[in-house]
Structure 1
Amino acid sequence: MIAVVAGLNIFPIKSAGAVPVVRAELTRDGLRHDREFMLVRPDGRHLSQREVPELALLHPDYDGGKLIVHTPLAAAPLVCEALDGPALDVTVHRRPCQGMDQGDEAAGWFSETLGLACRLVRFTGTRPTALGGGTLTYADGYPVSVLSDESLDDLNRRMDARLPMARFRPNIVLHGLGPYGEDPVTRLRGGGVEIELIRPCGRCVIINTDQDTARRSPEPLRALGRYRAERFGGTREIMFGRLGVPRALGTLRVGDELAAS
């Protein structure tokens, strides 16, 4: 089967807003600059939309050197250069890793904007994936997330209100596989790029957060729970989309055709 890349999204700051792009470099850690930064509490635990939905209102732009963050929560944007140190011990879902502290100015801006003490860190070191022998930055468990727009169309037909793709925060949006056509796919190949899809994407309360307003509602988690709950690795999860590990690196572009097998 052939899948067309219908969208590409990079999330420079974990749990903050997306940067839609028309091309992206696929590295061993996922799309370049994806989840390169993260906000942490004073004890090093990561901040997430699970607890702080207002993170959705942070809109970052990062070129590899300068980070700019706009938000309606602050009168002026944050503008700072990426720093290379010092390294802090931090955690993502209790899994230890490290991050380079980005300084007091950034920490003060985020703490005031969000109304809680936090610091910005930039990824350093290595993190292994749970399965598949890959590596990642600050993504939860795998470097690449994939979702079909036809799967979202099917979900929307089951609901009273239509939801945008942004609610589900995929790195790669596919078209052409049909509703849930990504479920059995284990490989995506094209243009020298190859991604192995390792497991279904278990969903949490973040998808109930409107990415434009930070308001939370019972949907779509409730709707998905009626027909997309299954067991994986001994736990019952609500599955929607797939998670993968890059195997051959290169450039992905919107409009690219990928062989799905």
Structure 2
Amino acid sequence: MSKIESEQQLSPSGTVDSDKYTFPQISQINIYPVKSITGISLSSSWVEQQGLSFDRRFMVADMNGKMVTARDNNQMVRIKSALQANGLVLTYPESDPLHLSFSDFMMEEVSCNVWGDEFQAYATSEAANAWFTYIIGKKVQLLFTGEQSNRQREKIQTNVSFADGYPLLLVSQSALDELNQRSPKTHTMAQFRPNIVVAGTKAFAEDGWKRIKIGEVEFEIVKPCARCVLTTVNPETAMRSEQNEPLKTLSTFRADESGGIFFGQNVIAKNEGMIRQGDKVMVLESKAKEVYPDTSGDAIEEETLKAITISVNGYMFDGDNQGTLLDQAEQAGVAITSSCRSGLCGACKMTLESGKVDQPDMPALFPGEIEEGKVLACCCVPKSDVELVD
């Protein structure tokens, strides 16, 4: 059997009959110059091993170098950008534009942290720091990777920009179409922030790809992309979905046994080159698809709303048995350290001193921790009066 995707059958000569069969092709190319802001759609892009040119080459960080993202600062998705020959311009509805010129950057080395990766980035300008401080509401700084990122990820044997973990994200348009058929809400591709969108495939065909070629570049499909709370933020209004969509729907047919939710594929480039909108996607090698149980038809009995008392580090407040601990604490003005808000990072891990919670088995919980009383505030739901400490 050929390594070309199974939807594309071979002619007797062993080649694809291009008159009869259609290859998948690129329908969108997107970059996000600053991590967590609105993307820019391109007709073509130069691919580097650290990702698409200009993609996530900037990042907002606190004064200790820790990343600041739209997961906790939803307003960042309303920041837009335009590329210029000597830099870029950033706009935000309630602020004057910020003009960033590479020649004005201080370029002083700054230690920073992206999901545990410690590496050196570069300072930009005091004007940029002040502009983002106004939007975020606390003192932050804008960092630059430089022409070549110093962040080396040994796991994938390449350097990466300020992206979460992998240089590129690929999603098929049919995957979004399938989600929208199942979800009570209509979702846009912008919620998932892909670099490459592919049209002309069956739903989630990308799950079965291992190596592909687009234009001049060969890519390796590394692993499915675990999705976080950022997908629930409306890219236009910066408002989070009260129904936790699309994660709620995705959890019914794209979740693994640990509760991780997956949509799209993390990708690395094996060489540099140009890709263009409309380029054919040649599937060079396939792999077995991940299997996710489909529970969408399961009947779910609605639980009666019940008032309870919640204590977090000695601070007591009224809550209920339906919202997550993190959401309820924030509504009550009680601070809990958090980051990914989807059970992946462990920043909100706490100890349950008394009471009962519904805590799914999430990636940030190590074996045996649930039995020891460890919970994740972002995804556990109190079921009785509870007392927790961090």
TM-score (normalizing by structure 2): 0.64
2:240 is aligned to 216
Contact 2:185 2:245 in 1 (8 A): no
TM-aligned CA deviation for residue 154 of structure 1:
0.2
Which of 242, 253, 256 is matched with 1:227 structurally?
253
CA distance in 2, matches of 1:190, 1:51: 35
Contact 1:130 1:141 in 2 (8 A): no
| Aligned AA (1:60) | S
1:253 is aligned to 276
| Aligned AA (1:42) | M
TM-aligned CA deviation for residue 258 of structure 1:
1.4
Contact 2:152 2:158 in 1 (8 A): yes
Please state whether the residue corresponding to 2:162 is helix, strand or coil: coil
Contact 2:65 2:111 in 1 (8 A): yes
- Whether 1:105 and 2:127 are equivalent positions in the alignment is yes
2:321 is aligned to none
CA distance in 1, matches of 2:200, 2:53: 25
1:57 is aligned to 78
CA distance in 1, matches of 2:226, 2:158: 18
CA distance in 2, matches of 1:175, 1:21: 16
Contact 2:215 2:276 in 1 (8 A): no
Decide which moves more: 123-132 or 81-90: 123-132
1:178 is aligned to 202
TM-aligned CA deviation for residue 117 of structure 1:
1.1
Seq. identity, %: 29
Alignment: residue pair count: 257
| Aligned AA (2:252) | R
Distance 1:64 1:93, change over 3 A: farther
TM-aligned CA deviation for residue 225 of structure 1:
0.8
1:123 is aligned to 145
Structure possessing the higher relative contact order (Cα contacts under 8 Å, 6 or more residues apart): 1
CA offsets 1:142-190 (integer angstroms, 9 cap, x no match): 0010000000000000012211111110000001221010001011113
Q: CA-atom RMSD, angstroms?
A: 1.4
CA distance in 1, matches of 2:265, 2:153: 14
Higher strand fraction (1 or 2): 1
Please state whether the residue corresponding to 1:96 is helix, strand or coil: strand
Please state whether the residue corresponding to 1:182 is helix, strand or coil: helix
* Stretches of structure 2 lacking an aligned partner (at least 5 in a row): 6-22, 286-390
Contact 2:106 2:125 in 1 (8 A): no
TM-aligned CA deviation for residue 84 of structure 1:
5.6
| Aligned AA (1:122) | F
CA offsets 1:121-153 (integer angstroms, 9 cap, x no match): 101442233633222110011001000000000
Which of 77, 80, 93 is matched with 1:72 structurally?
93
| Aligned AA (1:197) | I
Please state whether the residue corresponding to 1:226 is helix, strand or coil: coil
Contact 1:167 1:207 in 2 (8 A): yes
Distance 1:112 1:190, change over 3 A: closer
CA distance in 1, matches of 2:60, 2:79: 11
1:84-95 mapped onto 2 (5 Å cutoff): 85-95=107-117
Distance 1:245 1:120, change over 3 A: same
CA distance in 2, matches of 1:90, 1:132: 20
Decide which moves more: 128-137 or 183-192: 128-137
2:66 is aligned to 45
2:378 is aligned to none
TM-aligned CA deviation for residue 93 of structure 1:
1.6
TM-aligned CA deviation for residue 62 of structure 1:
2.7
Contact 1:90 1:96 in 2 (8 A): yes
* Stretches of structure 1 lacking an aligned partner (at least 5 in a row): none
2:56 is aligned to 35
1:6 is aligned to 27
TM-aligned CA deviation for residue 95 of structure 1:
1.6
TM-aligned CA deviation for residue 43 of structure 1:
1.3
TM-aligned CA deviation for residue 64 of structure 1:
5.8
| Aligned AA (1:131) | K
Distance 1:137 1:166, change over 3 A: same
1:140 is aligned to 164
CA offsets 1:67-96 (integer angstroms, 9 cap, x no match): 21011131x110121226101001012221
Please state whether the residue corresponding to 1:237 is helix, strand or coil: coil
CA distance in 1, matches of 2:216, 2:91: 35
Which structure: larger Rg? 2
CA distance in 2, matches of 1:73, 1:21: 26
2:355 is aligned to none
2:136 is aligned to 114
